[in-house]
Amino acid sequence: MQGTTYTTLDPPGTTGTYAYGINNNGDVAITWVNQSGALEGALYNYGANTYKTINVPGADAAYGSEASFINNEGDMTFWWFDSNNLVHGALYTKYSSKHFTFYTFDYPNAYQTVANGINDNHVFAGWFEVKAGSPSLGYLATFK
């Protein structure tokens, strides 16, 4: 490609950054590795050129949480780790309130659950495992 511009997303004090989802405003769901090696979710606000740390409440401090995707309303999907290093899903949304709220979840009877992409109709996708070492299975879910 010619004429392409790249912007490095590298918040101060991090040891690695992963950009996952982007919305039409240019806002990006990112995850970075902090100085202790844990993951932290964040929002990069394109217009303001700022970073806002957004971590799932209850995530184990040693492992953390990852922001995965963002829709045009600013709703974000996350996955977060418990004290056993098992992963769970989370949705950060203001869909049913005036303020952003976290909803944590697991696919029914799943061993682990990951939340990935979310669209503007509040449908999100991800994957889960029924038991340790089992094949991953995809899912779609609607937030209501």
Q: What is the pLDDT of residues 15-48, one digit of tens each?
A: 999 999 999 999 999 999 999 999 999 999 999 9
* 3-state secondary structure (DSSP) of residue 25: coil
DSSP conformation class of 29: E
pLDDT band at 4 (very low <50, low <70, confident <90, very high): confident
- Give the type of residue at 135: P
Q: What is the pLDDT of residues 51-88, one digit of tens each?
A: 999 999 999 999 999 999 999 999 999 999 999 999 99
d(CA 1, CA 94): 38
pTM of the model: 0.89
d(CA 89, CA 100): 16
d(CA 144, CA 142): 6
d(CA 75, CA 60): 22
d(CA 88, CA 113): 5
d(CA 83, CA 111): 14
- Give the type of residue at 7: T
User: What mean pLDDT comes out for the span 111-116?
Assistant: 95
d(CA 83, CA 5): 40
Structural fold of domain 16-142: Neuraminidase (2.120.10)
Q: What is the pLDDT of residues 83-106, one digit of tens each?
A: 999 999 999 988 767 788 899 999
pLDDT at 132: 93
